[in-house]
Structure 1
Amino acid sequence: MIRGFAKSEGGATTVEMAIVSTLLFTLVLGFVDFGYALYQWNAANKAVQLGARLASISDPVATALATAAPTTTPGAPVVAAAYGPFACTYAAGTGVCSNGGTFNAANFSRIFRGDTAVTNNDACVPLATDQ
């Protein structure tokens, strides 16, 4: 009886299917997870591209930044720290820029929120239809 049980191949297909299906499910779930990670990376990349484009084509938040010129010769190298730190902070409806720049709330609102009016706060406005 024991020899007959040892030579029996009745459950071999079930065991093989269990092993193969485990590997198959692991591979499929890995592909799905990797695809979702690539989707998230692409969405973040496009958001950064859109933000950088909007910031580059908009007027600067620090109004003195447009007229700051460490050199008058086009193409001349700019010395490190020639501009100084242009840092702008905005909280509770008040904006302040360092290095002699004045804060322009309308320009900040256009860069931060897109093409909207100044709402005098630093919260995002709800999206309208087709935005």
Structure 2
Amino acid sequence: MTVRSLPFDRRGSSAAEFALVLPLLILLLFGIIDTGRFFWELNRSEKATQMGARMAIVTDPVSPDLVGASYVSGTIKAGDVIPANQLGTVKCTSTGCTCETAPCPSGGGTVDSAAFNLIVARMAKMNPLIAANNVVIRYSGSGFGYAGAADETMDVQPLVNVQLQNMQFRPIALLGFGGWNLPNASATLTAEDSSGSISN
């Protein structure tokens, strides 16, 4: 083959075209896989919060101040239904509980670590990457419950919201060099017996 005939030689054209298209094909393939993985992780987060909320409404409350709170006052007598506005929003994380919206039960903002860890452990069965710092639990007034209950459970039956936040998604198409936070997942249920450490 002479130098003059080289520009007209077509024997390697298929290989050159394939080499140009292959990276785009691989990127498209991994993009499709990552899209499926993203929605899988999103669904797992939502199911984990639902499991956490179910656990939270049937076991001991994370905020011990809710158990000892009395709602008997000048306008509410023992046995009366507790209005929703008698409990604001108590926000609990693994480090403590704070009053997000007043009124809240008085107390030191302590958190029942055993109760909190039970909820996190239940959620981690759905997604093992869930850690305590990813979970936020809120209690707010629901309009259920009777003032002056004689037992050692909560008088009020609050709405219990379990939120999962700051969960990372790392696409394989970026080879682990990047990622982003999944949207926060949240589930809310009304408290049931709120006593004990076992859930179905």
Identity of aligned residues (%): 25
Tell me which residue corresponds to 1:12.
Answer: 13
Deviations 1:16-55, CA, capped at 9 Å, x for gaps: 1112222211111222222332232222222111111211
Q: Which runs of 5+ in 1 are unaligned?
A: 115-123, 125-131
* Larger relative contact order (CA 8 Å, sep ≥ 6): 2
Tell me which residue corresponds to 1:113.
Answer: 118
C-alpha distance 15-63 of structure 1, shift in aligned 2 (>3 A) = same
Number of aligned pairs? 108
- Per the TM alignment, residue 66 of structure 1 is displaced from its structure 2 partner at its CA by 8.4
C-alpha distance 23-85 of structure 1, shift in aligned 2 (>3 A) = closer
- Per the TM alignment, residue 9 of structure 1 is displaced from its structure 2 partner at its CA by 0.5
Q: Structure 1 or 2: larger strand share?
A: 2
Structure ID, larger Rg: 1
Tell me which residue corresponds to 2:51.
Answer: 50
1:83 to 72, 87, 91: 87
1:100 to 103, 106, 109: 106
1:63 to 50, 63, 67: 67
C-alpha distance 29-59 of structure 1, shift in aligned 2 (>3 A) = same
Q: Structure 1 or 2: larger helix share?
A: 1
Distance 1:68 1:20 in 2: 74
Q: Residue 59 of structure 2 contacts residue 115 of structure 2 at CA under 8 Å; is this kept in 1?
A: yes
The farther-off stretch of 51-60 and 4-13 is 51-60
Amino acid at match of 1:13: S
Q: Residue 94 of structure 2 contacts residue 116 of structure 2 at CA under 8 Å; is this kept in 1?
A: no
Deviations 1:78-106, CA, capped at 9 Å, x for gaps: 55xx4245456876xxx9x962369795x
Q: Residue 85 of structure 1 contacts residue 99 of structure 1 at CA under 8 Å; is this kept in 2?
A: no
